Chain A
Amino acid sequence: MSFFGLGRPQPTSAEKIAAVENELKMMADMHNRMTRVCSAKCVDKTYRESDLAKGEAVCLDRCSAKFFDVHAKIFDQIQKETTERMAAAGGSGGGFGM
């Protein structure tokens, strides 16, 4: 999953390391958010048992799948909306314009 080689001049060593590090950081961040969000939605907070119940485990699996889907959908939609809004604004104002 690398986005290099898009026609820019050769990135420096520091830039390359920073890019990889950032990508890994984003992945770790997404992992943490997903775990936190899905635990909150799926896991019994009274902690009566130390093992994951079957229902909780299934809920976690489905939650992770939905989390990724939502992430992708929001990403696509924001790109689309930003493009449309910028086109509608006709360059006046620019930026997010919200």
Chain B
Amino acid sequence: MDTGLTAAENRELETRMQKRQLKEFMSVIGNLVDTCFNSCINDFTSKALSGSETGCITRCVQKSMTTQARMAERFAEQNQAMAAEMQRKAQQ
């Protein structure tokens, strides 16, 4: 991606991006916990996780990660299409 920055500026940007990615990762985990807990855990007659609850959590995580990966692909495609469209409009 040509951002028009010098090498030093790019390094600074990369440092910031790494910090941001770490924050992002933590927030992904947080969202996953909230989502899967809300969907899977509804029985508080026991304090131990049941087998079905554990299975649900496992499937929830797997499905969420598959969904994220698919959404990332679609996002990249849509973004490219949008950028191309904007260029086309700008050249009119």
Interface set of A (CB-CB < 8 Å, partner B)? 1-2, 4, 13, 16-17, 20-21, 24-25, 27-28, 30-31, 34-36, 38-39, 43, 45-52, 57, 60-61, 64-65, 67-68, 72
Given contacts A39-B67, A52-B66, A64-B71, contact A47 B13 (CB under 8 A): no
Residue in B5, B20, B56, B86 whose beta carbon sits within 8 Å of that of A47 in the complex: B56
Q: Which residues of B contact A57 (CB under 8 A)?
A: 70
Q: 10 closest Cβ contacts across the A-B interface?
A: A64-B74, A50-B62, A50-B59, A35-B71, A47-B60, A68-B78, A47-B59, A45-B39, A20-B3, A31-B75
CB-defined A-B contacts under 8 Å, sample of 11: A20-B13, A21-B13, A30-B75, A35-B68, A47-B40, A49-B59, A49-B63, A50-B59, A51-B63, A52-B63, A65-B74
Once the chains bind, are B39 and A27 in contact (CB under 8 Å)?
Answer: no
Main secondary structure of the interface of B (DSSP, over half): helix
Interface set of B (CB-CB < 8 Å, partner A)? 2-6, 8-9, 12-13, 16-17, 20, 24, 31, 35-36, 39-40, 56, 58-60, 62-64, 66-68, 70-72, 74-75, 78-79, 81-83, 86
Given contacts A1-B86, A38-B71, contact A48 B59 (CB under 8 A): yes
Shortest B31–chain A CB gap in Å is 7
